Amino acid sequence: MLIIGIDIAKEKLAVCLQAEREILKEEEFGNHKKGFKAIEKWLKPHRMDEVHICMEATNVYWEEAAEYCHAAGAKVSVVNPVRTKGFAMSQLRRNKTDKVDARDIAAFCAATPDLTLWRPPTPEQRKLRALVRHREALVKTRTQQSNRLQTAREEEVRSSLQSVITMLNEQIEKINQQISDLIDQEPGFKEDHELLCTIKGVGGRTAERILAEMYDLAQYESARAAAADAGLTPAHHESGTSVRRKPKLSKVGKASLRSALFFPAMSAVQSNPIIRRMAERLENRGKTPKVVLGAAMRKLLHIAYGVLKNRTPFDPDHQPVHASLG
């Protein structure tokens, strides 16, 4: 099996082809459909189904490339950048260029034979994600304009801002209806949405955002793996006997999902008995409110993973063997 490492940037792709850990050739291509076709042509006489392509989950710039390569028949793995960075550091890499990064990604793939293969979203999943992200952008814009309205003094400016806010309200309502219709029309969406809404602290809008941003949540090998992908696992920094920094969220992963869970986690600390008990244990151990909230966000995602994986509604009386997240 040939291996391709691709370093992703907004406008270009650095590509490294190797076999048996030997670099065969390297090249740069545009990060667009014409560039993807050029990669396929560049691979000849090999076929796309003869290669395992590995790339990092860099913003959203990887998505089109991954979808094209998967559709062309290649095995595709999309990995957290922290994993490839850690691998490069273990190899004592001193230089960092796009070409070097592509080599490191290919070498990482060769050294990790059990990498999970990426599964592209269905057209319906892609549509849901686009609608939800568009709604969040509209809501953010509305908040900005509402803040401006509070400080505006000239009547002409206030009138204009009010018109913009009214228009945004109408668009948000329209998008909300389109999201609701899409979920109702797709049996898989509808069932998953209903399961997520059984979780204390998770409302309809939060359930929509979880389905949109982690459409493959139930496919993860574990709840911890899903939390790591969302950047919700704790990052510790200790060295020797003198360096003891406070743990914090790694924040390397899906920022949009962390944003979706922030306020629901605050609510869940009060309303969800499992998360409330966990929060009380952490508080009694002297953990800061920030650490407690991060743990609540992580636990909320663990529970979401559980209800979707097991296809059962949330049970507030469930007591897992290893309940503590501390």
DSSP class of residue 17 equals: E
More confident residue, 247 or 151: 151
pTM, full prediction: 0.80
- Give the pLDDT band of residue 239 (cuts 50, 70, 90): very low
Tell me the per-residue pLDDT of 163-199, one tens digit each, with 9 for 90 and over: 999 999 999 999 999 999 999 999 999 999 999 999 9
Residue partners of 74: CB distance under 8 A and separation at least 6: 4, 48, 49, 51, 52, 53
Where exactly are the structural domains of the chain? 2-111, 123-185, 210-310
- Dist. CA 39–CA 13, nearest whole Å: 10
More confident residue, 139 or 220: 139
Q: Percentage of the chain with pLDDT > 70?
A: 90
Tell me the per-residue pLDDT of 203-221, one tens digit each, with 9 for 90 and over: 999 999 999 999 889 888 8
3-state secondary structure of 316: coil
CATH fold of 2-111? Nucleotidyltransferase; domain 5 (3.30.420)
pLDDT at 310: 94
**Amino acid, res. 299:** K
- Dist. CA 212–CA 322, nearest whole Å: 29
Dihedral sign for Cα atoms in the order 214, 218, 224, 225: negative
261 CB-contact burial (10 Å; exposed 0-12 / middle 13-18 / buried 19+): buried
Neighbours of 15 (CB within 10 A): 27
